[in-house]
Amino acid sequence: MPVKSNAYRVVMLVLVAVLFLAVNMISNVVFRSAQIDLTQGGLFTLSDGTKNVIAAIDEPITLRFFYSEKLANDYPSVRTYAGHVRDLLEEMRDRSNGKIHLEVIDPEPFSEQEDLAVSMGLNGAPTTEGDIVYFGLVGTNMVDGLESIPFFSDKRAQYLEYDVTRMVQNLTRPKKPVLGIVTNLPLDTGAGGLTAAMRGQSQPFMIYEELRARFQIEFLEQKFATVPDDVDVLMIAHPRPLDKPTLYAIDQFVMRGGRVLAFIDPHSEVSLTAGADGQPVRGYTEASNLEPLLKDWGVAYDPLKVVGDRALAQRVQTGLDARRQESDYVLWLSVPREEMNQDDIVTTNVDHLNLGTVGALSHIDGATTRFTPLIWSSKDSALYDLDYVKSGPTPDMLLRSFKPGEGGYVIAARIAGPIKSAFDAAPALEAKKDDDPSGPDMTAAMLPAYLASTSGDANIIVFADSDIFDDRFWVQAQQYQGDRVAEPIADNAKFVLSAIDNLMGSDDLISLRAREKIDRPFKVVEALQRDAERRFLSEQANLQDKISDTEKRLKALQTSSTGQGEDDARVQAEINKFRAELVESRKALRNVQRNLRRDIDDLAGKIRFLNVIAMPLLVAVIALVLAFFRHRRRKARVARGGA
């Protein structure tokens, strides 16, 4: 009997082991693609835009994922990120109904696969042992289209789905949509302009690099007779003053149903950026406007006013005080999603914008258009005169003189509805001047036929800032394997690309750009810091007033002094009084700073207590309660069985 019992146990263990292996094998096959995404915002779930792009594939495409798996085993960060990339590619393949062929290639050193990776333009990362790690993607279609991601940098991890989906969409399109650009910004050369480009030292703006990868770019000179018919969207980015024929060409482009994305600016700091020679690009324009077009679009814009916002002010380095290296700069705005229109598809997935010296837009009463704000300032904002802004006030001066106005000034808006032309007829052309050789020769026949109004609703987006393009505001660009890699710190590029995609009628890629790194700012700490800093500035102003008043009194006493002992005693008493006031004021300043540090330290201590002690205790208590009830249920079952 014991022998049979032991044999029975052995057989049962073997069967359990076989069943365990079988269940694992079946689950690996059946549930391989199953997943539950519990992250906030669904970071590991395909966006609807990706699904739409995959569903629209007509001809099969091939994705070759080159990954040096064996060599990358010693690099945990690369190995982890590679798993994420592979999971994304496999899910896209599984959803494509056979239209996406995925090949995973491990290019071992000195192999044909490595030669293939090099021939397709992939960049390898050298290791300390002298090996080359490949980690990139190449996509091809049935014709001759080829797209590649030379190396997956984890600095663009938040853009992974967008980058791969953009590649797939580019491979499925016969040609890229055409984006016409009218600008006086050096988008394609960087701050160095043509001079740097001729020296081979140009660094295009990172937003322009994104545009060039997504669209076919067609630059229009700032004097033209008509917008080419193949232009899908016209982007006007801080142009110089445009003449009547050029304004007429833009006007008639809108009348024909053309869509426009316009960036105007009362004070363009990106235009003033110094190049390699220490000077702005030759021919720069400090301000831009689009009158009389704006008026007919129903947009009011004062080019002599700049929005300042105390609540949205960016923190900037000042170095004026050893104890306070940063200050709030109310003219540079850090706009959160709370100040954006979440009902418009362009801004619904934009989380954060960094802008500089922006203007204000409003709707003209009685206009035929609909004016939908997309981005606005907070209620704690005001308008500054442009001349005062150009005088170069310090951040502290701006804060001291800040007086909130109406608040909620519109920075960007969508314009829709019927529009009447800003012209009564095609303008007369002036003869080309000998001292102004710029721009093409025009004839009346080159101007588009006059249309008095749009046949349907116009679709225009106006943005009262051009510094949105400035790399300094939104991106940290680093060199990696000879390529510039953009690490976004704000969503400036996301807004520009989303706006163009929307105006072109393509919304599929817009949602993909929401895959940002989860950035949870310490809002309570920031509020404490801002409040204490305002008190600090108030105390500082009082101190300066006391010093000034005391110096005036001292000077008056010294002028009226007779040199007698009584006068000297009065002067010395005043000096002593000044010193006492100075000591008290500095003590008050230190108290404000000490209270700020104390409040932040108290908050940090509470957070540490919650994380280190309170939460583990709560989990332990819950576990004990569950164990207690489980024990009671077990005893009850035993008691019922005994009965």
Q: Highest-confidence range of 47-56, 370-379, 533-542, 634-643, by mean pLDDT?
A: 370-379
Residue 30 in this model has a pLDDT that exceeds 50? yes
Segments making up each domain of the chain, as ranges? 48-156, 177-303+357-377+404-427+445-520, 525-642
Rounded to whole angstroms, how far apart are CA atoms 35 and 37?
Answer: 6
CATH of 177-303+357-377+404-427+445-520, one of 3.40.50, 3.50.50, 2.20.25, 3.30.460: 3.40.50
Looking at residue 287, its pLDDT comes to 94
Stronger pLDDT, 559 or 398, i.e. the higher one: 398
- Mean pLDDT for the stretch of residues 573-580: 68
Q: Say what percent of the chain tops pLDDT 90.
A: 38
Instruction: Give pLDDT tens digits for 501-512.
Output: 889 876 676 656
Residue 543 in this model has a pLDDT that exceeds 70? no
- Mean pLDDT for the stretch of residues 385-411: 89
Looking at residue 519, its pLDDT comes to 45
**Angle in degrees, 0-180, between the axes of helices 565-609 and 523-560, rounded to the nearest 10:** 180
Residue 562 in this model has a pLDDT that exceeds 60? no
In angstroms, what is the C-alpha Rg of the chain? 33
Q: 464: closest CA among 242, 190, 238, 312?
A: 238
Q: DSSP H helical segments within 158-231, as ranges?
A: 160-172, 193-198, 206-214
Stronger pLDDT, 639 or 547, i.e. the higher one: 639
Concatenate the DSSP letters of all residues of 407-452 into one string.
Answer: ---EEEEEEEE--B-S-SSPPPPPPPPTT---S----GGGSPPP-S
Q: 364: closest CA among 286, 250, 451, 462?
A: 462
Residue 624 binned pLDDT confidence (cut-offs 50, 70, 90): confident
Looking at residue 535, its pLDDT comes to 59
Residue 102: which H helix or E strand, with range?
strand 100-105
- Mean pLDDT for the stretch of residues 167-174: 85
Looking at residue 518, its pLDDT comes to 42
Provide the whole-model pTM: 0.65
Instruction: Give pLDDT tens digits for 319-353.
Output: 555 555 678 899 999 999 999 998 888 898 788 99
Q: 593: closest CA among 350, 353, 322?
A: 322
Mean pLDDT of the chain: 81
Looking at residue 451, its pLDDT comes to 94
Compute the C-alpha angle 133/139/140, nearest 5°: 135
Residue 516 in this model has a pLDDT that exceeds 60? no
Rounded to whole angstroms, how far apart are CA atoms 468 and 479?
Answer: 22
Contact by Cβ (8 Å): 425, 244: no
Say whether domain 48-156 belongs to CATH 3.40.30: yes
Residue 203 in this model has a pLDDT that exceeds 60? yes
Instruction: Give pLDDT tens digits for 399-420.
Output: 888 888 877 899 999 999 999 9
